[in-house]
């Protein structure tokens, strides 16, 4: 056991490991805070589609050889989030079909662009990395770290400031609108913040696994807790713990970071489902 700790202590000497932990914890905190709302509003599919869009945007940024790819990815993803929200509230175009088109299209275009224009010798390796985020969290640049910290702080502050209104809009949009809350504006806010989180999370788990980060902690928390606040707090704690544990295990066992985190989330979900089934007397009765 002491060997493991020595090994960990050694790793923590490296700034890239500390950076990975800081950024990982912040991103998982943000994604779980908003995850509760997304799951409850049945918006989680938007997160999934946006992650594919972010991949496409990354491909474009790579081809254009932009120095910091966030400059391209962030606005493109936010724009798509806004478009998706508009189309899903417009009954004439089926929201989920539009979303499927956009997300599959983005994947295909992204892959094609990378294949045709990439100068790298190991294209499949690179693409695998962006899709599953195998090492990118360990190779963050100083500016990546700062962007992540600032954006995460912004997301957390927005969430806290608008917590009560987000609850009202999530629980009952019609009532909220009736008492004068601009529900449309809050949906927009939620969509934009989701886009920001997805772009940030792409570094941590890769674009294919982001949904797991958004969905699992809140679903786990909802198995056991029954008030909105308890669910939000519990999913934040779970998400942070799973990401920290996942990052540490992946360093010790040289497993891919993203998948390890997601597997930690899945295990937690199993545990919480069992606990919920044992303690939930009246549920499902």
Partner 1 sequence: MAQFICRDVSLGYDGKVIAEHISFEINSGDYLCIVGENGSGKSTLVRAMLKLHEPMSGEITTGDGVLPTDIGYLPQQTEVQRDFPASVREIVLSGFTGHLGAKPFYSREQKVAAMRAMERLGIDSLARHCYRELSGGQQQRVLLARALCATKKILLLDEPAAGLDPKVTGEMYSLIENLNREDGITIIMVSHDIAAAIRYATHILHIGHKRNFFGTKEEYIKSEDGRAFISLSGEDVIRT
The total of other beta-carbon atoms located within 10 Å of residue 127's CB is: 19
Q: Does 156 bind partner 1 (CB under 8 A)?
A: no
**For helices 163-171 and 228-253, what crossing angle results, to 10°?**
110
Q: Does 174 bind partner 1 (CB under 8 A)?
A: yes
**Contact assessment for residue 40 and residue 95, using Cβ atoms and an 8 Å cutoff:** no
Among 160, 252, 275, 277, binds partner 1 (CB under 8 A): 160
Nearer to partner 1, 10 or 161 (CB): 161
Q: Does 93 bind partner 1 (CB under 8 A)?
A: no
Q: What angle do CA 262, 267, 271 make, to 5 degrees?
A: 145
Among 98, 165, 184, 273, binds partner 1 (CB under 8 A): 165
d(CA 78, CA 104): 17
Q: Does 82 bind partner 1 (CB under 8 A)?
A: no
Among 9, 179, 253, 278, binds partner 1 (CB under 8 A): 179
Among 64, 108, 161, 274, binds partner 1 (CB under 8 A): 161
Phi, psi of 255 (to 5 degrees): -100, 160
149-157: long-range contacts, CB 8 A cutoff, minimum separation 24? 149/22, 149/23, 149/26, 151/196, 151/200, 152/26, 152/27, 152/29, 152/30, 152/200, 153/26, 154/196, 155/30, 155/33, 155/34, 155/193, 155/196, 155/197, 156/29, 156/30, 156/33
Stretch that binds partner 1, among 70-78, 109-117, 138-146, 161-169 (CB under 8 A): 161-169
**Contact assessment for residue 187 and residue 85, using Cβ atoms and an 8 Å cutoff:** yes
Among 53, 61, 168, 204, binds partner 1 (CB under 8 A): 168
Question: Residues binding partner 1: what is the number (CB under 8 A)?
Answer: 30
Among 87, 162, 188, 273, binds partner 1 (CB under 8 A): 162
Within its chain, how far is the Cα of 101 from the centroid? 21
Nearer to partner 1, 10 or 178 (CB): 178
Q: Does 282 bind partner 1 (CB under 8 A)?
A: yes
Q: Does 154 bind partner 1 (CB under 8 A)?
A: no
Query: Residues 205-244 vs partner 1: string with x where CB under 8 A?
Result: -----------------x--xxxxxxx-------------
Nearer to partner 1, 142 or 282 (CB): 282
d(CA 138, CA 144): 11
Stretch that binds partner 1, among 163-171, 192-200, 248-256, 265-273 (CB under 8 A): 163-171
**Minimal distance in Å, beta carbon 88 to partner 1?**
15
The total of other beta-carbon atoms located within 10 Å of residue 2's CB is: 6
Contacts of 157 (CB under 8 A, 6+ apart): none
Applying CB under 8 A, which residues contact partner 1? 40, 42, 160-165, 167-168, 171-172, 174-181, 222, 225-231, 282-283
């Amino acid at each position: 056991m002491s060997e493991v700790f020595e090994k960990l202590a050694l790793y923590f000497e490296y700034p890239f490991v500390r950076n990975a932990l800081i950024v990982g914890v912040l991103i998982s905190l943000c994604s779980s805070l908003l995850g509760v709302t997304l799951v409850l509003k049945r918006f989680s599919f938007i997160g999934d589609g946006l992650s594919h869009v972010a991949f496409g945007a990354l491909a474009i940024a790579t081809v254009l050889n932009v120095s910091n790819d966030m400059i391209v990815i962030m606005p493109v993803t936010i724009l798509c989030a806004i478009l998706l929200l508009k189309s899903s509230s417009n009954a004439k175009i089926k929201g989920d079909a539009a979303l499927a088109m956009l997300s599959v299209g983005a994947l295909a275009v992204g892959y094609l662009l990378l294949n045709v224009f990439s100068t790298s010798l190991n294209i499949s390796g690179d693409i695998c990395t962006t899709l599953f985020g195998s090492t990118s969290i360990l190779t963050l640049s100083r500016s990546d770290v700062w962007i992540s910290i600032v954006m995460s702080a912004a997301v957390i502050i927005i969430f806290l400031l608008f917590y009560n209104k987000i609850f009202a809009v999530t629980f009952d949009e019609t009532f909220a609108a009736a008492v004068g809350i601009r529900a449309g504006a809050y949906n927009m806010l939620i969509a934009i913040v989701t886009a920001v989180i997805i772009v940030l999370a792409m570094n941590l788990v890769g674009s294919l696994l982001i949904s797991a980060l958004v969905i699992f902690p809140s679903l786990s928390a909802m198995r056991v807790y029954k008030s909105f606040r308890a669910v939000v707090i519990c999913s934040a704690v779970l998400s942070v713990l799973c990401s920290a544990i996942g990052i540490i295990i992946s360093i010790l066992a040289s497993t891919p970071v993203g998948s390890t985190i997601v597997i930690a989330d899945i295990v937690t979900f199993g545990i919480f489902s069992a606990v919920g089934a044992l303690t939930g007397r009246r549920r499902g009765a």
